[in-house]
Amino acid sequence: MSENPYPELKRPIARLKDDAKKLKKALNISQNEALNIIATQHHYPDWQTLDFYNTPRKAIKPKTKPQKVTYPIIGEDLIHHNREILARLGLDHSDLIITATGIKKSIMDAIAPLREYFKLNHYHDYGLQQQGEKILQPAKLITATSIIDTQVSLYRPNTKKGDPRIWIYQLKEHVQPNDVLALLLVKGLLYVFNISRIDLNTHLTLLNQFVYQVDEVAFELLEKLRAIAKLGPLKAVKSGDTAIGMTIEHALGISANSSKNPDYKGIELKSAREKAKAQKTRSTIFAQVASWDISPLKSSGAIVDKYGYMREDDLKLYCSISTKTINSQGLSFEYQESKDLLVEKHHIDGEVAVWKGSILRQRLLEKHKETFWIKAESIEIDGTEHFILKSVIHTKNPLVGQLMQLLADGIITMDHLIKRKNGTGNATEKGPLFKINPKHLDLLFPEQKEYSLE
């Protein structure tokens, strides 16, 4: 065996193969991809090299085999092929099309989708940047054969209303006009791939490392839930519809609060009882009040005063609103597409309250950038409800462009939960809650991975 130029392994190869099996299962990737990730973690370029330098072998005669002729993918087919790879791996990114003028001037327009991608990933907000200000950040430019350490310039000029600009240094020699770049953020570092020129299959090891890094918190949370599940049934910390969520959060050490932020290090937790009845139970996506400035009625209190009913000494309005039916209080939704407005209407009085589509889409992104939808079986022990954790569906990157259409189709609905205590006290609303049936989650969250907790 040749002298090993790489670091000595601290674990036997057999143990590393076991690590790869676990990684394969966790990431839902091939064994070969998992082995390559393990190899890079031990400072080897790939598993073949690691295996060569650390496994004794008998000398064998090389055999020559006829080489299979393959043809490279080019043009639009290559771009489509590379986008499919990124989608399959669940790696969110933003495209940037290179122009001849951009190459000549070493500057490109930071188009709206790219600006939104940067902002949503807490990388850079052009809206907060001063005109004339240039910010340089480290970046990595990925070519067919190398990874180049470089910088990205984020700039707003003093002229032309300070339209946002971007440039990646050392890019010129690796692009042609009309090439498409895929800009990918991983833990705050920008990676740049020219998906018009390179086949991302040649960088699967690197991309799978990204998957592991991007999903690191998700794997951490998944292991915690599995550890909790092994302890047996969880005793409910309270009763009612919210008991399951409160019980799981309590077991994870998450304190109860009224924050609209995701529950666990950026991951939202949604829990449901796994019963026959649960198939009809809608899951809350987010809560969002109406845009009162453009609504005919200016508060939840005004709505309950006009359309509420007395129940248990309190004035209440507990009801579901949909585009498909008029409820018992005479209320329904209408989506006014030309104005991008969701309008709650009364069948006699007309408009009641209005939601802006832009605000609803923003709430969806804020709340569900990443979500764990937890299913649990409800059982009774000594007269108290307990929960057996069964499974998790992990979703990321909701299709925000589909939100208003799903509302228009009645697939997403809204619940009012308004109460004025004793009919005269302050009005409170635990919502309005926008909800979806779990069986329709794939219409809003295409990247789903399901894990068993048993």
CA distance 260 to 219: 23
Range 75-204: architecture per CATH: Beta Barrel (2.40)
Bridge partners of residue 376, in order along the sequence: 273, 389
The confidence band for 111, taking pLDDT boundaries of 50, 70 and 90, is: confident
DSSP for 386-435?
Answer: EEEEEEEEEEES--GGGHHHHHHTTSEEEEEEEEEGGGTS-EEES-PEEE
This prediction's pTM: 0.52
Helix intervals (H) in 269-402:
300-307, 357-368
**Amino acid identity, residue 77?**
D
Contact between 20 and 36 under an 8 Å Cβ cutoff? The reply is no
Q: What's residue 86's pLDDT?
A: 83
Q: Mean pLDDT check: name the lowest of 21-25, 130-134, 360-364.
A: 21-25
Cβ burial, residue 277 (10 Å; 0-12/13-18/19+): exposed
Cβ burial, residue 439 (10 Å; 0-12/13-18/19+): exposed
Contact between 158 and 144 under an 8 Å Cβ cutoff? The reply is no
- Spatial CB neighbours of 452, under 8 Å, sequence gap ≥ 6: 390, 391
Q: What's residue 338's pLDDT?
A: 87
Average pLDDT over residues 393-398: 84
Tokens of 418: 């308004």
Q: Is 219 helix (H, G, I), strand (E, B) or coil?
A: helix
The confidence band for 442, taking pLDDT boundaries of 50, 70 and 90, is: confident
Contact between 328 and 346 under an 8 Å Cβ cutoff? The reply is no
Q: What's residue 307's pLDDT?
A: 96
Q: Which residue has the higher pLDDT, 36 or 200?
A: 200
Mean pLDDT of the chain: 86
Statement: residue 344 has pLDDT above 80: yes
Over the stretch 347-368, which tens digit does the pLDDT of each residue have?
A: 999 999 999 998 998 899 888 8
Average pLDDT over residues 73-96: 82
Statement: residue 65 has pLDDT above 70: no
Over the stretch 257-268, which tens digit does the pLDDT of each residue have?
A: 656 666 788 888
Over the stretch 224-261, which tens digit does the pLDDT of each residue have?
A: 999 999 999 999 998 887 899 899 999 998 876 656 66
CA distance 48 to 33: 11
**Amino acid identity, residue 421?**
K
Q: Is 370 helix (H, G, I), strand (E, B) or coil?
A: strand
**CATH no. of 217-452:** 3.30.70.3570
Statement: residue 310 has pLDDT above 50: yes
Average pLDDT over residues 180-194: 94
Q: Pairing state of beta strands 433-436 and 283-287?
A: antiparallel
CA distance 398 to 444: 6
CA distance 215 to 370: 10
